[in-house]
Amino acid sequence: MKAYLFPGQGSQFPGMGKDLWDKSNSARDFFEQANDEMGFDICKVMFEGSAEELKQTLITQPAIYLYTVILTRDSRDFKPDVVAGHSLGEFAALAAVRSLPFFEGLRLVKLRAEAMQKACDAAPSGMAAVLGMEDHMIVDIIDRITEETVVVANYNCPSQVVISGSEAGLKLAEERLEDAGARRVLRLRTVAGAFHSPLMEKAREEVAEAVAKARIKKPTVPVYQNASATPTQDPEVIRENLMQHMTSPVRWTETIQNMITDGVESFVEIGERQILQGMVKRIDKRAVTKNLMVV
């Protein structure tokens, strides 16, 4: 069995999608329609913008969605048995296997980005990767911080957990984690706020209202969702998990472990980066990994 993995925020890079535009008329059609849907020339930012411009949440999220989904639509090699997406990548994974119509998915991602940006602007917040400490120790320390908002947001792979919270909460967590033996607590500069935390509740409510009305169909293959780490092809289960997506943790370690248990033998990361492949290898060093790229 082969699993295709869709990356999330942080996988963007200057020039993303330009090779697709240059080689494929169908890809160009998608991009041109996406410009109309977004209300501005997002392709110009993707193809010519700086890394700093691409880092803006309102650009990053739809850009990654467009690049990864269009790449799968344009590739003859996209033949998944199962799929999963990391955080934002879950929307792209669902669109790639026809559970979400392409432009409906883009509208949800655009709304998600706008709602998250509003939450980020409301108060100083962010995320940080905790390196070199067992997951259960991190959870225990974070759970004992009640005076500020800070939670575990991403279980990426063994000894790499991401925490999310208010600025004060992150500073407090950093002190306690390093005192307890964490090798490093590294602030994530590619994200603008406390994603997958209670600070995203208003954003979750806004997106959940749209998800409740979205046309979600049975995907062509099972999708392992972040909120459950288990596969489903049930549209209503997919809908419910998406409605909780903004504030629930990304259970990536469990997702990959469950895929392997279910018979997945190789993992293909969508795009040029190797972020998810690195996580997979840390979860199981025997896993076979590669990229799906423009050819």
pLDDT, tens only, 165-175? 999 999 999 99
Domain stops at, among 146, 162, 187? 187
Catalytic residue among 196, 197, 245, 248: 196
Within a domain: residue 240? yes
Q: What is the pLDDT of residue 96?
A: 98
Can you give the pLDDT at residue 120? 87
Asked whether residue 89 carries a pLDDT value surpassing 80, the answer given is yes
Amino acid in the structure at residue 1: M
Question: Is there a single domain that holds both residue 24 and residue 111?
Answer: yes
Please tell me whether residues 114 and 15 are part of one structural domain. Answer: yes
Mean residue pLDDT of the chain comes to 94
pLDDT of residue 140: 96
Predicted confidence (pLDDT) at residue 295 exceeds the cutoff of 70: no
259 occurs within a structural domain: yes
The answer to whether residue 125 is catalytic is: no
Catalytic residue among 11, 24, 87, 99: 87
CA dist., res. 71 & res. 82, Å (int): 17
pLDDT score at 293: 85
- What's phi and psi for 105, nearest 5 deg? -60, -40
Check residue 105 and give its pLDDT.
97
0.75 exceeded by pTM: yes
pLDDT above 70 (res 260): yes
Which of the listed residues 187, 217, 232 is the one where a domain comes to its end?
Answer: 187
Strand partners, 85: 6
Half-sphere exposure of 188 (CA within 13 A, CB side): 26
Closest CA to 187 of 205, 169, 201: 169
Domain count, the chain: 2
**Is the model's pLDDT at 192 over the cut of 90?**
no
Verify that 6 and 95 share a domain, yes or no. yes
Q: State the pLDDT at residue 289.
A: 96
| Predicted pLDDT of residue 193 | 87
Residue where one domain finishes, among candidates 167, 187, 207? 187
Residue 293 DSSP label = -
Give me the pLDDT at residue 45, please: 95
Give the SS3 label for residue 155.
Answer: strand
d(CA 57, CA 63): 10
| 86 counts as catalytic | no
Cα gap 109→57, rounded to integer Å: 11
